[in-house]
Amino acid sequence: MTDPLPMGATIGILGGGQLGRMLSVAAARLGLKTHIFEPGAEPPAGQVAHKVTRAGYHDDAALTAFAKSVDVVTYEFENIPTAALDVIETRVPIRPGREALRVSQDRLTEKTYLEDLGLTVAPFADVADPAALKAAVDHIGLPAILKTRRFGYDGKGQARLTSLDDVDQAWAAMSDQPAILEGFVGFTREISVIAARSAKGDVACFDPGENLHKNGILHSTTVPARLSAAQRTDAVLIAAKVLNALDYIGVLGVELFVTDAGLVVNEIAPRVHNSGHWTQNGCAVDQFEQHIRAVAGWPLGDGTRYADVTMENLIGTDVERADTLARETDTALHLYGKTEVKPGRKMGHVNRIRRSSAS
């Protein structure tokens, strides 16, 4: 696929959560359709997409029919089974490409890839069993964090170690899955860059956002982040380096730790990212539209920030405040249409705009 998709074309999206939902809305604004592929019932994206296929990622017939019905496929999460991608890719391009998924699906592959690019990451070691964990602790030191190599998100599959007594408990928390031990980075703050690359190779980055996590889950993102001009430039250059190395098409989230010695890359996410939701009310073209433009082969839009914004996630029962939030001035409420409230479940977010000091 080299030509830009014409209006009326269909973008297939693997995953029907809130990210797929907001991608579908952005596609619709550009005159494009979306077709969601999702195993779960009543996906939030299904309420706004043109079409939904409810099937599992091992259902080759459903994957084939899905691939035949769309012009390009993208995704809203990175843990898609390789076999499903193989079925799709014989029929239709997948954007961002397979290399981005290969690198980001496994923390060990990801850290090694980023280090090979010359970027700074936390010290890390492969941990396959308790003996390897003890050796890794000797090598890296404490405090440290043990993380499963695959399928970790929102702080899940992680254990902190502060003393050698924690080794057994930390390993038990991995449930016998391969893991990686990371040295603890003494950061002053956490930031992320939401970056985009078009099919032609143009790169555009949104202003870095400053992230606050609570219980391992993103609580809020504030722009502008408290960064020096040099740090801001470094953050954007790091994101651009990763995009170009991966020959990437679409939006990528790059999470960074700010330290006195410079920026340390924590992880990359080959998709639109929770810490980029502020762009919906801080920019003319937000991360969702930017991603749709890129995967559709369109030119990237203008993502210049025109307001200061704080995005706050509505997690679990936070959504009960929706009525009150809907009355706040300079506040945009975004709800995901999820009927069942569960602890830790992302139900929506608000973007609070502060116009006064916009650059």
| Chain positions contacting ligand AMP, by CB under 6 A | 122, 145, 152, 155, 182, 184-185, 190, 213, 216, 255, 266-267
Residue 72 and residue 12 in contact, taking contact as beta carbons nearer than 8 Å: yes
Q: Give the helix/strand (H/E) hosting 29.
A: helix 18-29
Two tokens at 231?
A: 């740090």
Question: By C-beta, is 144 or 283 nearer to ligand AMP?
Answer: 144
Q: Which is nearer to ligand AMP, 8 or 343 (CB)?
A: 343
11 closest CA partner among 77, 94, 83: 94
Pick the closer one to ligand AMP by CB: 44 or 152.
152
Q: Strand pairing partners for 205?
A: 195
d(CA 322, CA 338): 13
DSSP E strand stretches across the chain = 10-14, 33-38, 51-54, 72-75, 124-127, 144-148, 158-161, 179-183, 189-197, 203-205, 209-214, 217-223, 250-259, 262-269, 308-315, 331-335, 346-354
Q: From the CB of 122, what's the least distance to ligand AMP, in Å?
A: 4
| Residue 137, H or E segment | helix 130-140
CB of 77 to ligand AMP, least distance (A): 14
Please say which residue, 151 or 355, places its beta carbon nearer to ligand AMP. 151
Burial class (CB in 10 A: 0-12, 13-18, 19+), 138: exposed
Rounded least distance, CB 195 to ligand AMP, Å: 17
By beta-carbon proximity to ligand AMP, the closer residue of 67 and 161 is 161
Return the number of the residue (143 or 299) whose C-beta is nearest ligand AMP: 143
CB of residue 126 to ligand AMP, shortest distance in Å: 15
Q: Least distance from C-beta 14 to ligand AMP, angstroms?
A: 21
145, two tokens: 């964090």
CB of 339 vs ligand AMP, minimal distance in Å: 28
